[in-house]
């Protein structure tokens, strides 16, 4: 990889490391503030500027994936008929995924049809009875007590028959609603994809449902991100919001820009040496995933493998071996505007005054005097005080 990545990018990595060590207490066991247990990470100027022959940049392997997953559920009360896709298949909106069996629904509708026919026959019988009863009622012309009693009985019979008709009609409406529901299920017996993406998981007999209860999981391809891995020895060397360059493994001139948006130290992964290149690697170390949001994903494909280079810069290369140089973001200033650096003095932090020479704007570098390449320097922070403990090696768990 190009030396310019070392020249500017790696100093930013080391700066992030210093912040991470101080703020999180990763070395001091979680201590923060200016107490005696806090430790500040320091590194030699030669390592910061990449002038040590043994120093090389970390480059990681990454793979393009979707930003989000969509879960497709399967009804627990319906029987699967056909599965149209496999894990790894690419789908678009409307692609058939699987279908339900409809035989039982058709049989139910047939039975419902018989029930409706029975209700209609009953209604016809009720209407015939009403007609007969009404005829008998119309024949009664007298007004005797016996006639009044007979009229009341016949009227009650007609009212009861009308009630039976209303109940039967209501039952027909309910059965028709069941038929309509079954017809909707039959018409929609094939479930289709709601997103463009890649099938990443299909439940089976050994694993009936995915972790979120879905039957099929689709990794959406509308928004892409890059997933990388870093081991526990180097996890401090990257930081959220740090810019990165993604480079094609096939054509090194093809690059994309992105930003680290998540470092997932809660999700440990099995070691895979192919995910690290150019940096230190420990075959027995724990790997953690980190994720990169792309500025532009044009030309990328789901599943494509890329190199992840820390930093984004097109500044020309600069040789730091012919003098003493320091990145401007390592320089602090006192109240009178005098420049200094936070440096190590026998295991404790101290201010060391420096003099600034020429400034190289593209590289963000000053030529300096007052320190040498062996001086151990910390990335400046407002909370630092003289006398704090320093540490110059990362101690892994």
What is the pLDDT at residue 245?
87
Residue 285 phi, psi dihedral angles, 5° rounding: -80, 160
Within a 10 A sphere around the Cβ of 137, how many other Cβ atoms? 16
What are the structure tokens assigned to 14, written together?
Answer: 């080391």
Residue identified by tokens 């209609």 is 120
Strands 90-91 and 348-353: unpaired
Helix, strand, coil percent values for the chain (each to nearest 5): 30, 30, 40
Rounded Cα–Cα distance for residues 292 and 306 (Å): 12
**pTM reported for the whole predicted model:** 0.42
Closest among 84, 34, 60, 35 to 249, alpha carbons compared: 60
39-66 core/surface letters (b: 16 or more CB in 10 A; e: else):
bbbbbbbbbbbbbeeeeebbbbbbebbb
- What are residue 257's DSSP bridge partners? 245
What are the helix (H) ranges across the chain? 3-4, 10-24, 45-48, 103-139, 145-187
| Radius of gyration of the chain measured on its C-alpha atoms | 39
Residue 159: helix, strand or coil by DSSP? Answer: helix
What b/e string do you get for 97-114 counting C-beta neighbours within 10 Å, with b at 16 or more? Answer: bbbbebeebeeebeebee
**Rounded Cα–Cα distance for residues 2 and 9 (Å):** 11
Can you give the pLDDT at residue 121?
97
Answer yes or no: are the C-beta atoms of 37 and 351 closer than 8 Å. no
CA dihedral for 104, 107, 111, 116, sign (positive or negative): positive
Tokens in use for 336? 């009178």
Structure tokens at 179: 């038929």
- Which residue's structure tokens are 């991470």? 20
Q: Rounded to an integer, what distance in angstroms lies between the CA atom of residue 222 and that of residue 224?
A: 6
Tokens representing residue 334 in the block:
């006192």
Measured CA to CA, the distance from residue 265 to residue 234 in angstroms comes to 12
Could you state, in chain order, the average pLDDT of each consecutive group of 10 residues for the chain (397 residues)?
41 47 40 53 79 49 79 89 92 94 95 96 96 92 88 94 96 96 94 88 66 78 80 79 85 87 77 42 67 86 82 58 83 93 94 93 84 90 87 53
The tokens of 348 are what? Answer: 């404790």
Helices 145-187 and 103-139, interaxial angle, to 10°?
Answer: 160
């Amino acid at each position: 990889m190009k030396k310019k990545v070392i020249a500017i990018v790696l100093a930013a990595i080391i700066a992030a490391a210093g912040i991470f060590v101080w703020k999180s207490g990763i070395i001091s066991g979680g201590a923060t503030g200016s107490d005696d247990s806090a430790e500040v990470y320091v590194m030699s100027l030669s390592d910061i500027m990449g002038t040590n022959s043994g120093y090389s940049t970390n480059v990681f392997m990454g793979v393009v994936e979707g930003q989000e997953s969509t879960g497709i559920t399967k009804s627990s009360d319906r029987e699967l008929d056909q599965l149209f896709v496999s894990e790894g298949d690419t789908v678009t909106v409307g692609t058939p995924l699987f279908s339900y069996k409809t035989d039982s629904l058709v049989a139910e509708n047939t039975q419902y049809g018989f029930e409706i026919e029975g209700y209609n026959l009953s209604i016809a019988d009720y209407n015939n009875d009403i007609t007969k009863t009404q005829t008998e009622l119309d024949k009664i012309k007298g007004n005797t007590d016996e006639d009044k009693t007979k009229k009341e009985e016949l009227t009650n019979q007609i009212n009861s028959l009308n009630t039976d008709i209303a109940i039967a009609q209501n039952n027909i409406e309910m059965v028709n609603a069941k038929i309509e529901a079954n017809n909707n299920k039959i018409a929609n017996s094939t479930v289709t994809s709601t997103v463009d993406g890649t099938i990443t998981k299909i439940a089976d007999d050994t694993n009936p449902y995915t972790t979120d209860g879905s039957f099929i999981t689709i990794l959406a391809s509308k928004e892409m991100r890059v997933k990388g891995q870093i081991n526990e020895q180097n996890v401090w060397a990257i930081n959220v919001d740090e810019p990165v360059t993604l480079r094609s493994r096939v054509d090194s001139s093809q690059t994309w820009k992105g930003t680290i948006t998540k470092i997932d130290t809660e999700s440990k992964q099995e070691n895979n040496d192919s995910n690290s290149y150019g940096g230190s690697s420990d075959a027995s170390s724990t790997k953690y995933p980190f994720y990169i949001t792309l500025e532009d994903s044009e030309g990328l494909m789901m599943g494509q493998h890329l190199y992840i280079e820390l930093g984004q810069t097109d500044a020309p290369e600069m040789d730091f071996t012919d003098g003493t140089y320091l990145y401007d973001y390592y320089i602090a200033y006192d109240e009178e505007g005098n420049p200094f650096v936070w440096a190590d003095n026998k295991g404790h932090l101290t201010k060391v005054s420096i003099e600034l020479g020429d400034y190289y704007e593209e590289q963000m570098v000053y030529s300096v005097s007052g320190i040498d390449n062996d001086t151990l320097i910390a990335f400046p922070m407002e909370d630092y005080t003289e006398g704090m403990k320093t540490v110059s090696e990362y101690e892994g768990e």
